[in-house]
Homo-oligomer: A and B are copies of this chain.
Amino acid sequence: MSKKLKKIGVMTSGGDSPGMNAAIRAVVRTCAYYHVDCVGYYRGFQGMIAGDSTPLTARSVRNTINQGGTILQSARSKEFMTKEGRAKAAANLKKEGVDAMILIGGDGTFTGGQVFSKEHNFPVIGVPGTIDNDIFGTHYTIGYDTALNTVIEAIDKIRDTASSHNRLFFVEVMGRDAGFIALNTGIGAGAEEILIPEEDLGLDRLLDSLERSRRAGKTSSIVVVSEGDKIGKNVFELAEYVKENLPFYDARVTVLGHIQRGGRPSCFDRVLASRLSVKAVELLLDGKRDLMVGMMNNEIESCSLDQALKGKHNINKDLLRISEILST
């Protein structure tokens, strides 16, 4: 392994996701294992610009693997989108003696990192951390699995009331422009319908399907709606529309909101975060740079940040078929 690297920096950026602390911990401990210094920057690019950092040792990250959120905090930085902002960050890293940065976050984080790397010839490695799972180059992002469980536990609770009261519930879940969360939790929670941005079923088909359910004897139903759904109505308008057209149903709306970002990470996310982050450090020590680590087919791989940013992680269309069969 290359001996040139003496100090690696790490930060978290964008929306927080469960498992980010497990990722930070693994970066720190892998550095310790290879006798490389490690420094954490607070609030993502913002802390790099402000020079707001802290040395991290194996002990700094004790008892963090099971904590939600991120001990390094996160933020979105407008200043980093400017040449001046990035120059300040580069100067701070140089002053601190940091040789490379590990960036834990999503699309926006990697875009910033890529520009920065080229502009200042500074090695970076991206670690995909977001609940949305919308990153090309990895089958799973850190936090996604935990969010799935948070959502189905919430829908299981809503199902209790739906069944008890013969109600139709529209449950809005996160996912930005991607339907991963909606599609998988819809199947997992046994939803009668799933609305995702990747597939516009149309309002008529929704009404047809609910009408068919009712005739088949179903008195309560759950419809999972992705926040990025393109059906042209928000979830409240959707519920109103259905109420008007299918007065049989007592329709209600629940927007799950920010509970989906927090909570103790699942085992899957802790192990994923650990494996990805060990790899990220080892790639840097091997002289590699400007890559994103990912889990493809259960193995830890890497691709260029370019590929990660240009590619699109598509949902598995077969899941739509599964969903239709199972809501029979």
Residues of A participating in the B interface, judged by any CB pair closer than 8 Å:
12, 15-16, 18, 20, 25-26, 29-30, 32-33, 43, 58-59, 63, 65-70, 73-75, 139, 145, 148-154, 156-161, 163-166, 169, 184-185, 187-190, 216-217, 252-259, 261-264, 266-268, 270-271, 274-275, 278, 297-298, 300, 316, 318-319, 322, 325-328
Partner of A262, one of B160, B259, B266, B316: B160
Given contacts A217-B59, A254-B257, whether A25 and B326 have CB atoms under 8 Å apart is: yes
Task: Kindly list chain B residues whose C-beta atoms are within 8 Å of the C-beta of A152.
Answer: 66, 266-267, 270
Q: CA separation between A169 and B189, bound complex, in Å?
A: 28
Given contacts A267-B148, A270-B187, whether A68 and B160 have CB atoms under 8 Å apart is: yes
Interface of A is mostly: helix
| Residue with the highest number of chain B CB atoms closer than 10 Å, among A32, A267, A274 | A267
10 contacts between A and B (CB under 8 A): A16-B161, A29-B327, A70-B164, A73-B166, A156-B263, A157-B263, A254-B259, A268-B268, A274-B322, A297-B297
Q: CA separation between A18 and B26, bound complex, in Å?
A: 28
Contact assessment for A258 and B73 in the assembled complex, using a CB-CB cutoff below 8 Å: no
Add 16 more A-B contacts to A15-B161, A29-B326, A159-B262 (CB < 8 A): A12-B164, A30-B325, A33-B325, A58-B216, A66-B156, A66-B159, A69-B160, A75-B165, A152-B267, A157-B258, A157-B261, A160-B263, A184-B267, A189-B270, A252-B258, A266-B266
Q: How far is the CB of A155 from chain B (nearest CB, A)?
A: 9
